[in-house]
Amino acid sequence: MEVSTEYAVQMHGITKLFGSFCALDHVDLDVKKGSIHAVLGENGAGKSTLMNILYGLYQADSGEIYINGKKAEIKNPNTAIGHGIGMVHQHFMLVDNFTVTQNIILGNEVTGKFGIIDTKKAREEIIGIVKKYGLEVDPDAKIEDISVGMQQRVEILKALYRGADLLILDEPTAVLTPQEIEELIEIMRSLISGGKTIIIITHKLKEIKASSDVCTIIRRGHSIDTVPVADVDEEQLATMMVGHAVKLVVEKAPAKPGDVIFEIENLTVKNERGLEAVRNLSLKIRRGEILGIAGIDGNGQKELVEAITCLTRAQSGTIKINGVEIQNTTPRNVIDHKVSTIHEDRQRRGLVLPFTVAENAVIEKYRTPEFTRRGMIDRSRMTGFARRLIEDYDIRPAGCESQPVRGLSGGNQQKVIIAREISNEPELLIAVQPTRGLDVGAVEYVHKMLVRERDAGRAVLLISLELDEIMNVADTIGVIYAGSIVASFPQGKVDENTIGLLMAGGRLNETGSEST
Amino acid sequence: MKLAAKVLKKPIASTLIAVLFGFIVAAVVLVAAGYNPGQSFGALFHGIFAKPKYISNVIIKATPIILTGLSVAFAFQTGLFNIGAEGQYIAGAVAAVLVGVKLDLPPVLQIPVVVMAGVLGGTLFGWIVGYLKARFGIHEVITSIMLNWIGLYLSNFVVASGTYHMPNSTSTYPVNPSSYTMLLPNWKTSKAGMAALKPHQWLYEVMLKTDVNFGFLVAVLMAAIIWYLLYRSAKGYELRAVGFNRDAAEFAGINVNKNITDAMVIAGALAGLAGALAITGTAPHKISTLAAFENNGFNGLSVALIAGSSPIGCIFAGLLFGGLLYGGQSVQQDVGAPTEIINIMIGTIVFFVALTKIVPVLAEKLEKRGAGHVQ
User: Which amino acid makes up residue B291?
Assistant: A
Q: What is the pLDDT of residue A120?
A: 87
With 0-12 / 13-18 / 19 or more C-beta atoms within 10 angstroms meaning exposed / middle / buried, residue B38 is exposed
Indicate yes or no: CB of B234 within 8 angstroms of CB of A366.
Answer: yes
B244·A341 Cβ contact <8 A = no
Residue in chain B closest to A331 (alpha carbons) equals B253
More confident residue, B150 or A467: B150
pLDDT of residue A274: 86
Whether A331 and B253 lie within 8 Å, measured CB to CB: yes
Residue B54 within a domain: no
Question: How many angstroms separate the CA atoms of A281 and A479, rounded?
Answer: 11
First to last CA, chain B: 14
- Tell me: the pLDDT tens digits for A247-275? 777 888 888 999 999 999 999 999 888 88
Across A361-375, B1-15, B324-338, least confident range? B1-15
Residue B375 has pLDDT above 50, yes or no: no
Nearest to A331 among B251, B367, B368 (CB): B251
Q: What is the pLDDT of residues A15-44, one digit of tens each?
A: 998 877 788 999 999 999 999 999 998 777
Q: Is residue B115 part of a domain?
A: yes
Q: B42 by DSSP, 3-state: which?
A: helix
Residue B347 has pLDDT above 60, yes or no: yes
Interface of A with B (CB under 8 A): 17, 19-20, 61-62, 309, 311, 330-332, 334-336, 341, 343, 348-355, 359, 363-364, 366-367, 371-372, 375-377, 379
Mean pLDDT to the nearest integer, A225-231: 93
pLDDT value, residue A373: 92
Q: Is B361 on the interface with A (CB under 8 A)?
A: no
At residue B3, does pLDDT exceed 90? no
Mean pLDDT of A292-316: 92
pLDDT band at B372 (very low <50, low <70, confident <90, very high): very low
DSSP secondary structure string for all residues of B334-368: II---HHHHHHHHHHHHHHHHTTTHHHHHHHHHHH
Q: Please give, rounded to a whole number of angstroms, the shortest distance from the CA of A121 to a CA of chain B.
A: 43
Q: Which residue of B has its CA nearest to A335?
A: B253
Range name among A430-439, B21-30, B341-350, B351-360 with the lowest pLDDT average? B351-360
Mean pLDDT of A181-208: 90
For A350, which of B248, B253, B372 is closest by C-beta distance? B248
Q: Per-residue pLDDT averaged across B334-358, rounded? A: 76
Residue B53, burial from CB neighbour count under 10 angstroms (0-12, 13-18, 19+): middle
Q: What pLDDT shows up at residue B360?
A: 66
pLDDT at A465: 84
Residue A411 has a CB neighbour count (10 Å cut-off) of: 21
Residue range A368-377: average pLDDT? Answer: 93
The pairing of beta strand A314-321 with beta strand A324-325:
antiparallel
Interchain CB distance below 8 Å, B234 and A364: no
* Count of structural domains within chain B: 1
- Statement: residue A426 has pLDDT above 70: yes
Residue A86 binned pLDDT confidence (cut-offs 50, 70, 90): very high
Decide if B372 is inside a domain.
Answer: no
Best of A25, A61, A352, A371 to mutate (most B CBs within 10 Å, chain B): A352
- pLDDT at position A113 is 74
Least confident of A42-46, B57-61, B268-272: A42-46
Instruction: Kindly tell me if the per-residue pLDDT of B235 is higher than 60.
Output: yes
> Mean per-residue pLDDT for B224-244?
95
Share of chain A above pLDDT 90, in %: 60
Residue A506 CB partners (closer than 8 Å, separation 6+): none
Residue B357's pLDDT band (boundaries 50, 70, 90)? low
- How far A332 CA lies from chain B's nearest CA (Å)? 4
Q: Is A354's CB within 8 Å of B244's CB?
A: yes
In which band, very low, low, confident or very high, does the pLDDT at A419 lie, cut at 50, 70 and 90? very high
Chain B residues whose beta carbon lies within 8 Å of the beta carbon of residue A421: none
A215-239 as b/e: b if 16+ CB within 10 A:
bbbbbebebbebbebeebeeeebbb
Average pLDDT, chain A: 89
Residue B21 lies in a domain: no
Question: By C-alpha distance, which of A412, A438, A430, A423 is closest to A351?
Answer: A412
CB contact under 8 A, B235 and A375: yes
pLDDT for position A513: 46
| Cβ <8 Å between A349 and B235 | no
| CA atoms of B166 and B174, how far apart (whole Å) | 9
- Give me the pLDDT at residue B5, please: 67
Residue A425, C-beta contacts closer than 8 angstroms, at least 6 positions apart: A338
pLDDT band at A489 (very low <50, low <70, confident <90, very high): very high
Q: How many CB pairs below 8 Å do chains A and B form together? A: 77
| β partners of residue A260 | A286
ipTM of the complex: 0.83
- Residues in B closer than 8 angstroms to A341, CB to CB, are 251
Model confidence at B373: pLDDT above 60: no
Instruction: Give the pLDDT band (50/70/90) at residue B186.
Output: confident
For B139: left if phi > 0, alpha if psi spans -120 to 50, otherwise beta; the answer is beta
Average pLDDT value for residue range A91-95: 85
Q: Has residue A515 got a pLDDT over 50?
A: no
pLDDT at B321 over 70: yes
* Full set of structural domains in chain A with CATH: 7-242 (3.40.50.300), 247-338+426-516 (3.40.50.300), 355-424 (no CATH)
Q: Do B375 and A354 touch (CB under 8 A)?
A: no
Question: What stretches of A134-258 show up as alpha helix (H) in DSSP?
Answer: 148-161, 178-193, 205-211, 234-242
Is residue A512's pLDDT more than 60?
no
Residues on chain B touching A331 (C-beta within 8 angstroms): 250-253
C-alpha span between B17 and B37 (Å, rounded): 19
Confidence of residue B374 (pLDDT cuts 50, 70, 90): very low
Cβ(B226)–Cβ(B69) below 8 Å: no
For B235, name the nearest residue in chain A, comparing CA atoms only: A375
Domain with B138, as residue range(s), is 63-336
CA distance to A44, A217, A352, B238, B248, per residue, from A405 (Å) = 16, 28, 8, 17, 13
Q: Give the nearest partner residue to B237 out of A334, A341, A359, using CB atoms.
A: A359
Average pLDDT value over all residues in chain B: 89
Q: Is the minimum CB–CB distance between B242 and chain A shorter than 8 Å?
A: no
CA-wise closest residue to A62 among A130, A129, A15: A15
Is residue A231 very low, low, confident or very high in pLDDT (cuts 50, 70, 90)? very high
- Percent of chain A, pLDDT > 70? 97
Residue B329 contacts A, CB cutoff 8 Å = no
Q: Cβ(B76)–Cβ(B141) under 8 Å?
A: no
Looking at the predicted structure, is the pLDDT value of residue B149 above 60?
Answer: yes
Residue B6 within any structural domain of the chain:
no
Q: Is residue B284 predicted with pLDDT exceeding 60?
A: yes
pLDDT(B146) > 90: yes
Look at residue B95 and tell me if it is in a domain.
Answer: yes
Residue B208 has pLDDT above 60, yes or no: yes
* Pairwise pLDDT comparison (B200 vs B263), residue with the higher score: B263
Range of weakest confidence among A11-20, A229-238, A246-255: A246-255
* Cβ–Cβ gap B249/A377 under 8 Å: no
Residue B137 lies in a domain: yes
CB contact under 8 A, B251 and A61: no
Q: Is residue B181 part of a domain?
A: yes
Residue A322, min C-alpha distance to chain B (Å): 20
pLDDT at A511: 45
